[in-house]
Chains A and B, each alone.
Chain A
Amino acid sequence: MKVLVLGGRGYIGSNLVAMLRGAGIEATSASPRTKPAPGQLRIDTRDRSALQAALHDVDAVVNCVAGDGAAIAEGARVLADTARATTRCRRLVHLSSMSVYGAVEGCVHERVPPGPLLGWYDKAKRAAEQHVAAFAHGGGQAVVLRPGCVWGAESELWVGRMGRWLRAGRLGDLGIAGDGWSNLVHVDDVCVAALRALELPLGRGEVRTFNLAGPDSPRWNEYFIDLALAIEATPVRRLSPRRLQLDARLAGPALYLLRKGLQRLGRGGRRVPEPITPGLVGLWQRHLRLDPRAATRELRMDWTPYPAALQEAAAWFVEQESLARVSARAAATAG
């Protein structure tokens, strides 16, 4: 089987390409900012002709494209259209997100109707799912994966910045404001799910959708406390919802602008603390629990246990920190 992985340089995509190759599948990684090389293509998903050429000799596509709303929604539309026009590529595995459920709370399985939209991201993700479904209705086969928060070693999003916020005392035990479910899912589990989705027996025109979340993934507070203890960002702080709102709504926009400004001037905006966004604050208090039982059953998932993933994530974080210290010292000595 030959598989094209769109967004192959991203966190999920790069792990997936490695796993597919390890499993004996010929995987080509595609990304808009990559140097073309064997097994590596430079493709912007919205570029119809480039995509057409690439789809010509693959059996399936895994779509891991991230980015802004247009890249997600429009990219999926172009992909679905182009794939429909080819004869060889009959299967799409699409990485969606739990955010398609919008403002729904409670335990949600795949047939729960989505709630009101929360922002541009869910809107784009929902639109993308519709394009994928349209591809299947046109005679293809599609599997939509809806992961929660994808983590593991090297996860900047759910380990790196969380650890830095914990270290800075801007994150901790949030009480009610952190009582939402984390729906953390290990990146390896997402890759295994994508691999099995490629091989899942499907009929013509069939679409299957699966939630992906560790069945033992905890509520956010528990994750924050566990991570803080593991990286020794202690004592863990108990933060008030008020303080969190101030950080997100007042400090957040200022930090965002400062970072952008410094980046534009080439002055290393990385040193400015990362803003906590109101979207994250909303996520941490949302009682949405992804029900992963369909994936457990049909994709035969053997989920990475939360304690094992935590240990791995924390070890990576601590190692990153010590590497950063070493390079900072080296820079100082050189200067």
Chain B
Amino acid sequence: MTTRIVELRQGILKKNDELARGLRDRFEAAGVLVLNLVSSPGTGKTAFLERTLRQLREQGSRVAALVGDLETDNDARRLAASGAPVRQINTHGICHLEAEMVSRHLEDWEGVELGGLDYLFIENVGNLVCPSSYDLGEKVRVALLSVTEGEDKPLKYPTLFNSADAAVLTKIDIAEAVGFEREAALRNIRAIRPDIRIFETSAKTGLGMNPWLDYLAEEKAARRA
């Protein structure tokens, strides 16, 4: 018997990474800004996204959303109230979205062409761990955190918060009632990702939505340049 060492040096998620790179190229060529929204279940991703879609549409932007869930199309139906095209991705038990799922759901999406969009939002499955490993080809990864979740959550989930380009605090309309320590939350987010952009929002009252929408426009303009 001979023993041999075979060097493989390949990414475990090579297939996902290759697909994601292909998607990123397609998004870039189509001129659509793609965002991947990640948070725990219950943070208010869907409410925040619905408001974002609605306000962007009012501004005349062309938007669409893919929404990942383990089961049910409840979120897609909620988001459809914004008037934007929305498509559900059911992962059937898989705790995160993968590039292949995004690619497959873009293929035969009736009435939606990437070239006809300004923004495409991908709402990931509610989970703060697994989605961080899977590139979906997005330009901007957004980590959301609600004021009811505890200010130290960024410290507990550094992988996600470090890989995010922007952090969105949700439900700030009830921050005082739940004793949210704003300074601690901001400090913890920045401890994990010093250069992150932070937005403090309420989907219910609309508070803080304008800086967020401005940021989207900036990112969109930056990608065109």
A and B from one complex: no
Give chain B's interface residues, CB within 8 Å of chain A.
none
